[in-house]
Amino acid sequence: MATIAASPGISAAASALRRLYFIRFAFAIVWAGVTIASAKEIGPLAVALFVLYPLFDVGAAIYDLRSARATGSPALLYVNIAVSLVTAVGVGVAGASGVPAVLRVWGAWAIVAGLIQLIVGVTRRRMGGQWPMIISGGISVLAGGSFIVAASANDPSLINAAGYAIPGAIFFLIAAVRLGRAAKGN
């Protein structure tokens, strides 16, 4: 990959995104482990964990908005905040209806959030380190569709939906490492 002479604004944004991606990696891995261990059945803890993930996404998008304005796509981040807030409420309500309802809400969120992540990654590609985010966004769209389909299975489970966070975490880690070069202004 060619070295990009980054402007101070892009270098600062890359540094902020790098920190955010490391935090998102750590959160997603811990969340997936706890959720997989406790999501064998739909209960208050499982519902709370599935509400927590999109709420964390809201916090991450707010941090992203405040620290990375030089990278474009703020409108999409606002959309992501709104969609994730609606998802948190939707998962909370769906939890009372059972696993299929949670999977449908979770799947719809994964599709929309994946599309947003993909588009934001494309708009930030000049910064470097965004190919993992673009790929992760595409995978999220496909995973979301699979959750919606899984909701119609004979014995639907939340385990795959919880495991969905693991590849995303790995892509956040790869993106954080790749952003190191842009964060240094090289």
Average pLDDT over residues 2-26: 73
Average pLDDT over residues 95-119: 95
For the stretch 15-54, pLDDT in tens is 888 899 899 999 999 999 999 998 778 899 999 999 999 9
The predicted structure's pLDDT at residue 12: 75
Q: Is residue 99 predicted with pLDDT exceeding 90?
A: yes
Higher pLDDT, 178 or 4: 178
The predicted structure's pLDDT at residue 2: 38
The predicted structure's pLDDT at residue 68: 64
The predicted structure's pLDDT at residue 71: 57
Residue for token pair 């482990």: 33
157 dihedral zone (left: phi>0; alpha: psi -120 to 50; beta) = beta
Alpha-helical segments (H) within the chain? 8-38, 44-67, 74-94, 99-123, 131-150, 159-163, 165-183
Report d(CA 143, CA 164) in Å as an integer: 7
